[in-house]
Amino acid sequence: MLHGKRILLIIGGGIAAYKSLELIRRLQDEGARLRCILTSAGAQFVTPLAVSSLSQDKCYMDLFSLTDEAEMGHIRLSREADLVLVAPATADLMAKMAHGLANDLASTALLATDKPVMIAPAMNVEMWAHPATRRNRAMLEADGVSFVGPASGLMACGEIGAGRLSEVQEILAAVKSFFSGPKGLPLSGLHALVTAGPTQEQIDPVRYIANRSSGKQGFAIAGALAALGARVTLVSGPVGLETPKGVERIDVVSADEMLAASLAALPADMALCVAAVADWKVVGAGVQKIKKTDDGKAPVLQFAENPDILATLSGLGADRPKLMVGFAAETEKLLAHAEAKRQRKGCDWIVANDVSYGSGVMGGDENAITLISDAGTERWEQTSKHAIAQRLALRIADHFQKSPSGEAAESRAEIH
């Protein structure tokens, strides 16, 4: 899959740098052609000789090397690659990338490249959680940098938490997913339908029923799918977010409008119903503003159930998207309610998240989810919504690669 692909591997400092040697070997086993930049901090943990020997090429370190600049140059080094991979990416390297600093060969090459960049962060748990790193991460995600990890677990310093370098196999899988697909992207040629944001159900011309959904998770997922080559149709409720690059956006207000727009967007290979759709609408919404009365009595509103977009799309038979992904925003009994929803609505995967008071998920920039499918449950620890989106997009890409026809592992026709 990686035969002939050119990868520039930048090795940052930290004890996790030792994993870069195995990564070099594994990438070469897949047929990739590697050039490596080793930072001065990285050289404290792995030697230039080891990197050079394994990569079968010169190990580049010095920005001001007369020989290296004459023979290769940091501009050519950064642009004669199909992918720039930073592993491990330290907090320092992330900060330099986010703010456009270029004071060594690695940061200069990253600033000069016009190629996609993928990074695998590795640092102490408190450094990863620090507000400065969180800001830098958000800036890099907005710039289109893709992330692999970090993982959670026991750190070399003895602390436990998020910040471990992802395992080599996971980094390799992310690289392979990046290069797969007919146009070098794993979701090329596939159409994704994504719903996002809240809906608003009219009470009268000035009032409506809504919820606290910001649309951030759905928009991030739409952008991540597009970055992997999918043609994405994003059906969005009323939000103040910018449309992700390469995404076709359709704005709606009510649940009825969202369903109509979703059906009109078909056929699709996958549908991700991320939107927080209002369960009820007002029967006979007023055409004039409802006024207070002299007797002080509150108006009586009659409600009707809104259409179920997820269940409708999942039950379309031959027109059903091949992969149906629902979202379950719950405040109690998270896993039980989410699995019941998956079975009841006939979707393939459910992404469950806790939106109770204090979680900060609704309207926030971070999320923690549990992915539920026929294969079981998988907990993804709290991280940015962009990181969740990228990981989910890669998982979807892996699903379609393993099943080229896009068929779900188990048909749910009998459930509908």
Q: Is 291 annotated as a binding residue?
A: no
Q: What values do phi and psi take at 43, rounded to 5?
A: -70, -10
Q: Is 307 annotated as a binding residue?
A: yes
Structure tokens given for 402: 């393993």
Which tens digit of pLDDT belongs to each residue from 366-393?
Answer: 888 999 999 899 998 888 888 889 889 9
CATH number at 6-179: 3.40.50.1950
Which tens digit of pLDDT belongs to each residue from 93-143?
Answer: 999 999 999 888 999 999 988 888 999 999 988 899 899 998 898 888 877
Domain with CATH 3.40.50.1950 in the chain: 6-179
Q: Is 279 annotated as a binding residue?
A: yes
Q: Is 244 annotated as a binding residue?
A: no
* Beta pairing partners, 293: none
Active site residue 157: yes
Catalytic member of 36, 59, 157, 273:
157
DSSP 353-366: EE-STTS--TTSSE
Which tens digit of pLDDT belongs to each residue from 224-251?
Answer: 999 888 999 999 999 999 998 889 999 9
What are all long-range contacts of 203-208, with beta carbons under 8 Å and residues at least 24 apart?
203/282, 203/285, 203/286, 203/290, 203/301, 204/285, 204/286, 204/287, 204/288, 204/289, 204/290, 205/286, 205/287, 205/288, 205/289, 206/289, 207/289, 207/290
Q: Is 221 annotated as a binding residue?
A: no
CA gap 146, 140 in Å, rounded: 8
Domain with CATH 3.40.50.10300 in the chain: 191-415
Which tens digit of pLDDT belongs to each residue from 246-289?
Answer: 899 999 999 999 999 999 999 999 999 999 999 999 998 878 88
Upstream peptide bond of 198 is cis (omega within 30 degrees of 0):
no
Q: Is 341 annotated as a binding residue?
A: yes
**Which homologous superfamily is 191-415 in?**
CoaB-like (3.40.50.10300)
